[in-house]
């Protein structure tokens, strides 16, 4: 992420803190620094729930510092560190990467928020220790820049393509390490030692909430969601939100509309409109219902609605225009459809764009997961009743539902022994098999079969969001590479850690009611969303975008032929043949095709890597961002 960020380099006799940015106004909004006689802090991102932090500081810092804490993220972080040390930094909330240099103890402390709002990497090369929000400044410190083939092995068999970053400390380059979301990095500069560990433990945050009804749960979710939306609304410009006509983004948008009336600023509602696909075109009815809802009609000022023609937005459109990436990402295929939304939001004057991402993860549970949970608790009669209800409503086999639920109770290693494994052809490939384009030598030497099974997405395996699933959905790639490119932060209210903790602490069974879609979220938004949306019973599939494989078939094939693939990793002819079949619509399901997209994204990254290495880092002075000097402690 070389558009904006910072680098901290600790040499044996000095420490250099260097922000960088291509847009100075964006840097002033998102990067802040503060120093006193002992410490210097630099923060990338935005701290939230500031009042809670201020409350812990009142009576412990002077009024002058407290006043600065109200407007500067770096001053707030520094004050928390002054008051409570590293523990104070660990209590910060928001979307951030922060580094604190303590001159007195000759130490560096760095941390990321639990959902990884901004990336952070580090390396140790001889006597030099460095951290950066981008890998690019770090490779200048290395004598050689080598691929990490172990990373490539994990990336190329990873089953979930919609990830912002791999949930591992290893990166695409040897010597460079990732600081994971919710992790803390401590560096003793005198001893030249670095130690990384998690400071945030999701399981420890969950406490079962005793509610009996969907309405009670909905009330709690509403309070938490309103707070999450309020925290992400822009204080200096306009706020925008996706406005799809579904529960998730439309609910966020209408809440923001209601919350923003006091500011006198109109909400910018952004809708992707499909006219030619007969199924996707029906989404316009739900969008119109939301625009005619009571909340929208009574808003003052009114919602500013932007219709964005989306029929022609397909996978891999404009992939050559994606900013040069630190690491490969399958999300490159969807970049154009998100970038156009960010561009229109920015042109309308918005610097914050909220999305509905996360609602499906938190509030959609498969029946088999609940039935398995009931069986595990010994509630057999309730489980059988649930099987009967879902069998009736879905016109499906009761025996099949029960078998699926029982499958979740069988130990994972037993299940793995039962499913088909190894390497198969493109036509028979599944999420549990090794893609056929990976060579047999590469598969054997790097144990790709075992890696494939080890990386099975917990959400896909269990049907319900768990703490084990959260590393797979952390990060915010579209904000890093599409939103910030246009000066807009893309945020995810449903993935606010407070919302996550609440949702995962609610009784699972309340999320499942045959014939109702997202019952808890429907209860939370019952007076915001129109009845037409509340009573929706299914979501549409946006598989139309896969037609991009056909549109860009020739360009992608040429890219495969020319990509500088490391020896022995991938068979070009098999990949080209698989691409040709996918372009013709030959595939079992979209999830399997996305494994092909993963391979293509890796080759695109390889093809652009040398150009990325030639990029200059757009450094700026500390005083050009938000900068404060505090009085002596």
In this predicted model, what pLDDT tens digit does every residue of 544-553 receive, in sequence order?
A: 888 999 999 9
Which token pair is 112?
């990321």
Q: Cα–Cα distance between 449 and 215 in angstroms, integer?
A: 45
- Asked if 129 contacts 88 with a C-beta cutoff of 8 angstroms, the reply is no
Report the half-sphere exposure of 51 (CA within 13 A, side-chain side). Answer: 2
Q: Cα–Cα distance between 587 and 580 in angstroms, integer?
A: 11
For the chain, the helix, strand and coil percentages under 3-state DSSP, each to the nearest 5: 45, 15, 35
State the burial class of residue 46 (Cβ atoms within 10 Å of its Cβ: 0-12, 13-18, 19+): buried
Q: Cα–Cα distance between 15 and 10 in angstroms, integer?
A: 4
Residue 581, pLDDT score: 94
Q: What is 298-365 written as a DSSP string?
A: H-SSPPEEEEEE-TT--TTTTGGGSPPPSS--GGGGGHHHHHHHHHHHHHTTEEEEE--TTHHHHH--
- Per DSSP bridges, beta strands 193-198 and 39-47 are unpaired
Residue ranges of the chain that CATH labels 3.60.20.10 = 4-155+165-200+623-629
* Low pLDDT (below 50) residues in the chain: 411-421
**What's the chain's length in residues?**
633
Q: State which fold the 204-363+470-535 domain adopts.
A: Rossmann fold (3.40.50)
Residue 621, helix vs strand vs coil: coil
Residue ranges of the chain that CATH labels 3.40.50.620 = 204-363+470-535
- Asked if 479 contacts 118 with a C-beta cutoff of 8 angstroms, the reply is no
**b or e along 241-262 (b: 16 or more beta carbons within 10 Å of the residue's beta carbon)?**
bbbbbbbbbbbbbbbbbbbbee
- CATH second-level architecture of 4-155+165-200+623-629? 4-Layer Sandwich (3.60)
Residue 417, pLDDT score: 42
Residue 418, pLDDT score: 43
Between helices 247-259 and 214-232, what is the axis angle to 10°? 60
Identify the CA nearest to 151 among candidates 425, 563, 451, 488.
Answer: 451
Residue given tokens 């039935």 in the structure block: 371
Residue 224, pLDDT score: 97
β-strand partners of 185? 110, 196
Q: Is the pTM of this model over 0.85?
A: yes
């Amino acid at each position: 992420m070389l558009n904006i960020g910072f680098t901290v380099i600790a040499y044996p006799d000095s420490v250099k803190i260097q922000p960088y940015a291509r847009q100075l106004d964006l840097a002033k909004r998102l990067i802040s620094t503060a120093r006193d006689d002992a410490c210097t802090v630099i923060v990338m991102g935005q701290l939230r729930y500031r009042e809670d932090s201020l409350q812990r500081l009142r009576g412990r810092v002077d009024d002058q510092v407290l006043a600065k804490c109200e407007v500067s993220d770096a001053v707030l972080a520094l004050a928390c560190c002054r008051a409570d040390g590293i523990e104070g930094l660990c209590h910060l909330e928001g979307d951030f990467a922060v580094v604190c240099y303590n001159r007195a103890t000759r130490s560096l402390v760095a941390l990321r928020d639990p959902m990884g709002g901004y990336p952070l990497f580090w390396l140790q090369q001889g006597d030099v220790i460095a951290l950066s929000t981008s890998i690019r400044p770090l490779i200048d410190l290395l004598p050689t820049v080598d691929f990490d083939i172990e990373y490539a092995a994990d990336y190329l068999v990873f089953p979930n393509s919609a990830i912002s970053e791999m949930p591992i400390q290893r990166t695409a380059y040897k010597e460079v390490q990732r600081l994971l979301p919710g992790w803390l990095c401590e560096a003793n500069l005198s001893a030249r030692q670095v130690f990384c560990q998690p400071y945030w433990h999701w399981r420890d945050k969950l406490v079962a909430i005793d509610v009996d009804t969907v309405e009670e749960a909905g009330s709690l979710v509403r309070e938490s969601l309103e707070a999450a939306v309020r925290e992400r609304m822009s204080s200096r410009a306009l706020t925008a939100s996706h406005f799809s006509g579904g529960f998730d983004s439309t609910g966020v948008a209408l809440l923001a509309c209601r919350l923003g009336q006091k500011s006198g600023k109109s909400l910018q509602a952004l809708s992707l409109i499909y006219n030619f696909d007969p199924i996707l075109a029906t989404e316009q009815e739900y969008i119109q219902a939301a625009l005619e809802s009571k909340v929208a009609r009574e808003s003052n000022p009114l919602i500013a609605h932007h219709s964005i023609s989306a029929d022609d937005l397909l996978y891999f459109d404009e992939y050559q225009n994606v900013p040069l990436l630190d690491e490969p990402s399958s999300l490159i295929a969807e970049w154009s459809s998100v970038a156009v939304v960010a561009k229109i939001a920015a042109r309308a004057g918005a610097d914050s764009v909220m999305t509905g991402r996360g609602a499906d993860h938190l509030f959609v549970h498969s029946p088999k997961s609940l039935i398995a949970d009931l069986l595990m608790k010994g509630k057999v009669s309730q489980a059988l009743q649930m099987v009967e209800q879902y069998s009736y409503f879905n016109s499906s086999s009761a025996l099949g539902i029960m078998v699926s639920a029982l499958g979740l109770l069988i130990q994972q290693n037993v299940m793995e022994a039962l499913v088909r494994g190894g390497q198969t052809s493109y036509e028979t490939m599944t999420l549990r098999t090794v893609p056929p384009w990976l060579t047999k030598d590469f598969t054997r030497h790097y144990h790709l079969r075992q890696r494939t099974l080890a990386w099975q997405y917990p959400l896909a395996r269990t049907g319900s969001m768990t703490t084990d699933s959260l590393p797979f959905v952390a990060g915010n790639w579209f904000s890093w590479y599409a939103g910030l490119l246009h000066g807009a932060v893309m945020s995810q209210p449903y993935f606010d850690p407070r919302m996550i903790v609440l949702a995962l602490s609610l009784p699972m069974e309340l999320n499942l009611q045959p014939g109702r879609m997202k019952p808890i979220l429907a209860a939370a938004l019952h007076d915001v969303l129109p009845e037409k949306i509340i009573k929706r019973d299914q979501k549409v599939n946006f598989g139309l975008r896969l037609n991009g494989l056909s549109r860009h078939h020739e360009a992608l094939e040429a890219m495969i032929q020319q990509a500088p693939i490391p020896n022995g990793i991938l068979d070009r002819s098999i990949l080209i043949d698989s691409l040709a079949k996918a372009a013709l619509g030959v595939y079992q399901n979209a999830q399997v095709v996305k494994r092909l997209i993963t391979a293509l994204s890796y080759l695109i990254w390889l093809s652009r890597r040398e150009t990325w290495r030639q990029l200059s880092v757009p450094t700026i002075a500390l005083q050009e961002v938000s900068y404060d000097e505090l009085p002596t402690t």
